[in-house]
Amino acid sequence: MRTFRLEKQVDRASWWRLLTPAALVLVIIMAYLPALMAGYVEWDDDKLVSYNRHIENISWDNVKWMWTTSFGGHFHPLTWWSYTVDFALWGPDAFLYHLTNVQWHILTALAFYFVARRLIWEGTNRTSDRRNHRTVIAAGLAALWFAVHPLRVESVAWIAERRDVLSGFFYVTSIWLYLRYVAFHDETNPLPTRQSKSLARVMFVLSIISCMVSLLAKASAMTLPLVLLAIDRFPLRRHVPRAHHQRIHLRHMILEKLPFLLIAILAGVRAIIAQEEGGALYTMENHDALARIAQACYGLVFYLQKTLLPFGLGPLYPIPSREILLGSMFFISGIILFSTVVASIWLRKKVPALLAVLAVYAVSVSPVLGIAQSGPQLVADRYSYLSCMGFAVFAGAGVLQVFNSRWWRDKREFRYLAALMLVSISTILTQATIVQCYYWSSDHSLWQRGVKISPNSAIAHTNYADALKDRLKSQDAAKHYQQALELDPKDVVALHHFGDLQRDAGYTEAAIQLYFASLRIDPNRGRASFSLAQLLLGKNREKDAVVILYDTVRRHPEYLKAKTYLANVLSMHPDEAIRNGEQATKLASSVVRRTPYNPIALMTLATAQAESNQFDLAIDTIQRAMILAEKHDEDRLLRELSKRLEKFLRNEPIRIGP
């Protein structure tokens, strides 16, 4: 009879080991299904992915760019490579970029499940088999509550945050490999000693490699050496001699982490350089030391609070004024933080896991608490992706304690009530995640949510105005641009985009003033200067327009549209003082070198060559453009090319205007 019960328990555990990961994957897919239906959002998706020519083909120049660029304030060559692979396989379809994000998140959740199962088992003093169905279910719930949580949505549903899910998988895998290394290195195994030590070395090296790969996707894994040290202390208790477990000295544990520490330091330095080169890093003049300390205290409380009560989440939480930040925000968060630390120290013997989890949390989130502030956000949902994993393990360990309790064993009513609570928590989190995914489905829904959650954010109002403008709701867009400028009169994006709105509505003078205001603050806004030059040409201010265009192409040598436009002005303007065939030919030639099969670029070059009296070259160039236009059935362009060819055959350049 006893043998039969044992076989029945083993059989039940086997089924749960198969069912739990499958159920985890199924719930994640269901929760993030709205994210798959989303498109690109004009919040870094545009500049990092949809308009980024460096990810459109695999070439030596593009690979070199991925490994050297600080574009967007980031150094993440593996993430760039991931985008490139997506584009090569699927093209620019947003659905498939979202699908890849969800796939990586699923892989991270599965890896986290195995890590949680080991840590929960270790944390309960190995009171049961880690493959026991109760441990499996507890680890599955921990993985579920990590993966299907509204705080994860920003990392998964936002294409530009591919680096979170990509880095997260290799980060968790590195921890799992490290746990395997500890098992082979510290414990008495049935394997021969030499084989056991060899396996330990392999796992250790693979863990280092996985950490390195994680850092190439995002620098968040720089805290991994300290996280591993905390795990050594609890739940592994490597410093304590136990049965089938040799005691490891602190010096040895620290030496083990040196390879991790070295690559973490290198990654951290490179990340700061990227932020500085990208212009995202705040100086001490903009954000002083006391304000950063207050921000760090608030951030530590924010992620803990939103883990427990994941409501009121938005795409942007702006840094408030120094007075507000150092006022009630600092005072309240300081009290909560102090109370939490005191309580965890007081309970360290009864609940040692609590102090360990809080230590891992504080270490993991430290790089994004504002000490090295990058960007305008006070906090961000995506910063919780790695840092809040410990909370999920802690919750899973609590579930296992409930399963192992006398109440669960003896009280049927308690089992039903506890099971109902666990299902309810999972259902609420899943539903909240689905709702949060819908917010990220479009620019309009995202920033409608943004202005609701952060009404004092100029950035949120500007982005919502952009979304309204795209929906042809000009009056509503104008109101939000005005609100943005009331909140921040120096918001260059609001000035620029409000200028675009005024230009499209026919208010050219107002648009010109807005463009000038934007460029006085940030002269590097290429599209603003280009739009301003176009308006000035229409106002018979040709010389000013040409000066601005020259400055634009000097600042933005890759801005081919501005180069083409300036070349046309220098080739065809009726004022001889404006025309310059030699300069026009240089500009047009540089555009053709970048886009040799573009008939419009060839037409521009031919027109510039005609202005330079190089009519033979102009005829040859225009005929090449005609072949391309005919090949692509561009009839309207073909007619224009034919008209210009007739003039070139008569040795006549092209003129526009009176």
pLDDT at residue 12 in the model:
66
Q: Computed over its alpha carbons, how large is the radius of gyration of the chain?
A: 30
Cα–Cα dist 151/315, whole Å: 11
E strands within 119-159?
none
Q: Which amino acid is at 90?
A: W
Non-local (6+) Cβ contacts of 383 within 8 A are: 299, 303, 365, 368
Question: Looking at domain 456-556, does it have CATH number 3.10.310.10?
Answer: no
Q: How confident is the model at residue 244 (pLDDT cuts 50, 70, 90)?
A: low
Determine the average pLDDT of the residues in 624-629. Answer: 92
Cα–Cα dist 143/38, whole Å: 25
pLDDT at residue 10 in the model:
53
Q: How confident is the model at residue 285 (pLDDT cuts 50, 70, 90)?
A: confident
E strands within 267-424?
317-318, 377-379
pLDDT at position 126 over 70: no
pLDDT at residue 658 in the model:
43
Q: How confident is the model at residue 520 (pLDDT cuts 50, 70, 90)?
A: very high
Q: Two tokens at 241?
A: 């001699």
Non-local (6+) Cβ contacts of 313 within 8 A are: 150, 151, 153, 306, 381, 436, 453
May I ask the CATH architecture of the domain 569-658?
A: Alpha Horseshoe (1.25)
Determine the average pLDDT of the residues in 211-222. Answer: 95
Determine the average pLDDT of the residues in 350-373. Answer: 93
Helix axes 458-470, 492-504, angle to 10 degrees: 20
Cα–Cα dist 174/182, whole Å: 12
Q: Pick from 112, 80, 658: which is nearest to 393 by CA?
A: 112
- Contact 386/171 with Cβ under 8 angstroms? yes
Q: Which amino acid is at 564?
A: T
Look at 161-170, 183-192, 408-417 and tell me which has the smallest mean pLDDT.
Answer: 183-192
Q: Are strands 377-379 and 317-318 parallel, antiparallel or unpaired?
A: antiparallel
What is the percent of the chain where pLDDT is above 90? Answer: 74
- Average pLDDT value for the chain: 91
Cα–Cα dist 647/635, whole Å: 19
Cα–Cα dist 268/577, whole Å: 54
Domain boundaries, given as residue ranges, for the chain: 2-407, 456-556, 569-658
pLDDT at residue 157 in the model:
96
Q: Is 192 exposed, middle or buried (0-12, 13-18, 19+ CB in 10 A)?
A: exposed
The two most distant CA atoms of the chain are separated, in Å, by 107
pLDDT in tens, 536-591: 988 888 899 999 999 999 999 989 999 999 999 999 998 888 999 999 999 999 99
- Contact 106/29 with Cβ under 8 angstroms? yes
pLDDT in tens, 290-303: 999 999 999 999 99
Q: Is 34 exposed, middle or buried (0-12, 13-18, 19+ CB in 10 A)?
A: buried
Q: How confident is the model at residue 189 (pLDDT cuts 50, 70, 90)?
A: low
pLDDT at residue 558 in the model:
86
Q: Is 569-658 in the same CATH topology as 456-556?
A: yes
pLDDT in tens, 197-209: 889 999 999 999 9
pLDDT at residue 593 in the model:
92
pLDDT in tens, 55-74: 988 889 899 999 999 988 89
Question: Is 317 strand, coil or helix?
Answer: strand
Cα–Cα dist 162/385, whole Å: 12
What is the percent of the chain where pLDDT is above 70? Answer: 95
In the chain, count H helices and then E strands: 33, 2
- Contact 361/384 with Cβ under 8 angstroms? no
Non-local (6+) Cβ contacts of 488 within 8 A are: 458, 494
3 vs 143, residue with greater confidence: 143
Helix (H) or strand (E) holding 518: helix 508-521
Determine the average pLDDT of the residues in 179-196. Answer: 76
- Contact 617/609 with Cβ under 8 angstroms? yes
pLDDT at position 7 over 80: no
- Residues forming a β-bridge with 242: 245
Question: Could you check whether the bond before residue 235 is cis, i.e. omega within 30 degrees of 0?
Answer: yes
- Contact 365/387 with Cβ under 8 angstroms? yes
Q: Which of the listed ranges 138-152, 366-380, 404-418 does the model predict with the highest average pLDDT?
A: 138-152
Q: How far apart are the first and last CA of the chain?
A: 105
Determine the average pLDDT of the residues in 324-350. Answer: 92
Determine the average pLDDT of the residues in 226-234. Answer: 95
pLDDT in tens, 429-480: 999 999 999 999 999 999 999 999 999 999 999 999 999 999 889 999 999 9
Cα–Cα dist 76/184, whole Å: 33
pLDDT at residue 276 in the model:
87
Tell how far CA 381 is from the center of its chain. 11
pLDDT at position 599 over 80: yes
What are 480-484's contacts with CB under 8 Å, separation 24+? 480/451, 483/458, 484/458, 484/459
Cα–Cα dist 114/103, whole Å: 17
Cα–Cα dist 500/494, whole Å: 10
In DSSP notation, 25-51 reads: HHHHHHHTHHHHT----TTTHIIIIIT
pLDDT at residue 267 in the model:
95
pLDDT at residue 11 in the model:
59
